[in-house]
């Protein structure tokens, strides 16, 4: 069904196996392969077909006519031939293919498409796959994929009244010849339905295999390699997830499937590299069919791994699988269930910093990973000032890393930020000295999306500052949100102030305190405190803005007759002006 020119035995058997023997555990297995990172001489990429089925509306199709009796357990023996319905990913139509049962394990049946037997699949491949699924994996010499994942996430569905899982090895029809990518495996939820099924948009009949089944490609995927075993681990999680939460959003489901691969010892280094090259990938908006999905796999994998390492381990991820709320809402519920006060937004804010720093020591490892190493690409690097950048764009829950350096030790820069979209931004700043983090701060924005911060924020020996903006979508907003933003940076000139106290000529207990600035400020409003006889009367109250200046009107009640009245004006928590008032 695929172009035979891609059936290179050197790729699928000789070269690949030789290479995998030399690679470390971190680089052995993965669901999506990009030639950019591992095979520079091949244009080949492997993706999961499950998200495409959801995008094409082949998901949770309700039956229009139910059978009169439940399915009966089928008694099978090795050598039995069965006709299966499968998906042609070139047009998402169903077709029938014949496959023969080649082995029966304690937890699985392994069927091989007849056209692939002794061509891409041999008895040894089937034997090795059965052993990995049921007995041992790279991460555990005493547990197979089945035991690891069922103990972590729960048991799969059982539509066919048979505790064994069907693993169908077949050559999946796809658009490899035209797009340079192929479907490595998929789970089809149609198989979890009984009765007559009608596609809601196309109004055509669909058929269910009425079995707990996952589909694994045989060409060019090498099923007997760690890559193939990782694909099985990935798709098996989708099957389990379906039992507990049929409507989970793609990005969460795919992230947990990536995490399932890690649990079994088949990590996705290539996905991390793809995300590292494109960290402005949205975490929550899964790319459409035909777009590059590799960075999204890396993003969702990192996200689930961060939750695992910082918020309760595998039990947290297990709760996420079983929680019926989806996406951001589900994550917020599980955080609360496990006793954490953080929200999705606050965890995301720390996560994006961790992706840049990956430091297991700084701030007790809050911004690091134990199980993997990650390095992300900076969006822009600035080494001379002033600068003025307009029209940079971010998608919802995507991140840019803006690096500022080459300023003298002790010198500071004034950074101004302004968003032009309807969604709010979250901005963190990372201060480094010789490559090591010394401070991580928040940059507060006004309701209009403007903010200013002096960088670095302290007198420590910082030589580099990284500003990390990300666009925050409103909770559970459907579709994409994209917002442009602008920023400026210049070597800081101290804000010079002149303060005038205007006493009312008629009312002696009424004053106007006017502050005139030498340059416009965009973020926090200056605040004023007033003390009478060293007792606090007004505590850091925002002044009123009049054009580019600020004023505060003070009225002293008649019952008060203080000996001293002291006013103090603050900006960015620093006192910038002070004086005394005469109450006589």
Quick check: is 370 in a domain? Answer: no
Whether 137 and 248 map to the same domain: the answer is yes
Quick check: is 263 in a domain? Answer: yes
Whether 342 and 246 map to the same domain: the answer is yes
pLDDT of the residue at 276: 96
For residues 123 and 169, the answer to whether their CB atoms sit within 8 Å is no
- Residue 457, token pair as written in the block: 């924020």
Spatial CB neighbours of 86, under 8 Å, sequence gap ≥ 6: 94, 95, 96, 97, 168, 170, 172, 215
Whether 239 and 131 map to the same domain: the answer is yes
Count of structural domains, the chain: 3
pLDDT of the residue at 35: 28
What's the CATH code of the domain at 510? 2.60.40
Indicate the SS3 state at residue 503: strand
| Residue-wise burial string across 420-432, b where 16 or more C-beta atoms lie within 10 A, e elsewhere | ebebebbbbbbbb
Would you give per-residue pLDDT tens digits along the chain (584 residues)? 444 333 333 333 333 333 233 323 233 233 333 322 222 223 466 789 888 887 666 666 666 555 655 566 778 999 999 999 999 999 889 999 999 999 999 999 999 999 999 999 999 999 999 999 999 999 999 999 999 999 999 999 999 999 999 999 999 998 875 556 789 999 999 999 987 788 777 678 889 999 999 999 999 999 999 999 999 999 999 999 999 999 999 999 999 999 999 999 998 788 899 999 999 999 999 988 778 889 999 999 999 999 999 999 999 999 999 999 999 999 999 999 999 999 999 999 999 999 999 999 999 999 999 999 999 999 999 999 999 999 999 999 999 999 999 876 557 889 999 998 767 899 999 999 889 999 999 999 888 888 999 888 765 678 899 999 999 875 434 445 788 999 999 987 655 678 999 888 888 889 899 988 766 654 567 899 999 989 999 999 999 988 878 999 998 888 888 889 999 998 766 687 899 988 76
For residues 396 and 477, the answer to whether their CB atoms sit within 8 Å is yes
pLDDT of the residue at 72: 66
Residue 54 exposure: Cα atoms within 13 Å on the Cβ side: 18
pLDDT of the residue at 70: 55
pLDDT of the residue at 474: 54
pLDDT of the residue at 31: 36
pLDDT of the residue at 44: 61
Whether 221 and 358 map to the same domain: the answer is yes
Whether 485 and 502 map to the same domain: the answer is no
pLDDT of the residue at 448: 81
Give the separation between CA 248 and CA 261, rounded to whole angstroms: 19
Range of the domain at 419: 380-491
**Which run of H or E residues covers position 217?**
strand 213-217
pLDDT of the residue at 460: 62
Bridge-partner residues for 485, per DSSP? 392, 419
Whether 253 and 322 map to the same domain: the answer is yes
Quick check: is 371 in a domain? Answer: no
């Amino acid at each position: 069904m695929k172009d035979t020119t891609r059936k290179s035995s050197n790729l699928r058997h000789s070269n690949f196996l030789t290479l995998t023997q030399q690679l470390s555990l971190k680089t052995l297995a993965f669901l999506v392969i990009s030639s950019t990172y591992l095979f520079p001489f091949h244009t080949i990429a492997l993706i999961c077909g499950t998200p495409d089925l959801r995008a094409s509306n082949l998901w949770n199709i309700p039956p229009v006519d139910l059978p009169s009796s439940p399915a009966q357990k089928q008694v099978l023996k090795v050598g039995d031939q069965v006709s299966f319905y499968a998906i042609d990913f070139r047009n998402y139509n169903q077709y029938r293919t014949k496959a023969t049962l080649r082995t029966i394990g304690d937890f699985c049946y392994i069927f091989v498409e007849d056209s692939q037997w002794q061509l891409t699949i041999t008895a040894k491949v089937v034997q090795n796959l059965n052993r990995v699924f049921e007995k041992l994996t790279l991460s555990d010499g005493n547990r197979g994929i089945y035991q690891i994942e069922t103990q972590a996430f729960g048991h799969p569905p059982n539509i066919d009244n048979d505790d064994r899982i069907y693993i169908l090895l077949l050559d999946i029809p796809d658009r490899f010849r035209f797009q340079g990518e192929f479907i490595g495996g998929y789970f089809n939820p149609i198989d979890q339905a009984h009765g007559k099924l009608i596609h809601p948009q196309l109004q055509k009949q669909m058929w269910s295999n009425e079995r707990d089944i996952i589909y694994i490609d045989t060409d060019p995927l090498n099923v007997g390699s760690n890559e193939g075993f990782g694909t099985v681990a990935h798709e098996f999680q989708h099957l389990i997830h379906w039992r507990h939460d049929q409507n989970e959003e793609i990005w969460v489901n795919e992230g947990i499937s990536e995490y399932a691969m890690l649990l079994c010892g088949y990590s996705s280094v290539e996905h991390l590299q793809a995300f590292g090259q494109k960290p402005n990938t949205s975490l929550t908006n899964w790319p459409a069919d035909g777009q590059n999905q590799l960075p999204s796999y890396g993003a969702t994998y990192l996200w689930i791994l961060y939750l695992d390492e910082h918020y309760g381990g595998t039990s947290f991820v297990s709760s996420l699988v079983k929680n019926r709320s989806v996406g951001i809402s589900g994550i917020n519920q599980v955080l609360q269930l496990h006793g954490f006060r953080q929200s999705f937004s606050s965890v995301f804010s720390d996560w994006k910093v961790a992706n840049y720093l990956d430091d297991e020591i700084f701030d007790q490892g809050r911004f690091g990973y134990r199980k993997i190493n990650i390095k992300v690409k900076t969006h822009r690097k600035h080494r001379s000032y002033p600068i003025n950048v307009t029209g940079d764009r971010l998608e919802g829950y995507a991140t840019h890393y803006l690096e500022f350096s080459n300023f003298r030790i002790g010198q500071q820069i004034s950074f101004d930020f302004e968003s032009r979209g309807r969604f709010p931004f979250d901005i963190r700043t990372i201060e480094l000295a010789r490559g090591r983090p010394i401070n991580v701060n928040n940059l507060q924005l006004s309701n209009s999306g403007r903010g200013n911060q002096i960088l670095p924020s302290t007198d420590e020996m910082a030589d580099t500052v990284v500003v990390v903006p990300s666009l925050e979508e409103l909770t559970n907003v459907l579709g994409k949100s994209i917002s442009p933003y602008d920023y400026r940076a210049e070597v800081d000139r101290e804000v010079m102030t002149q303060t005038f106290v205007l006493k009312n000529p008629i009312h002696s207990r009424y004053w106007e305190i006017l502050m005139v600035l030498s340059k416009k400020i965009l973020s926090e409003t200056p605040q004023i405190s007033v003390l009478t006889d060293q007792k606090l009367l007004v505590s850091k109250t925002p002044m009123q803005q009049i054009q580019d200046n600020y004023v505060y009107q003070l009225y002293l009640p008649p019952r008060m007759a203080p000996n001293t009245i002291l006013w103090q004006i603050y900006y960015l928590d620093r006192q910038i002006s002070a004086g005394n008032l005469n109450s006589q």
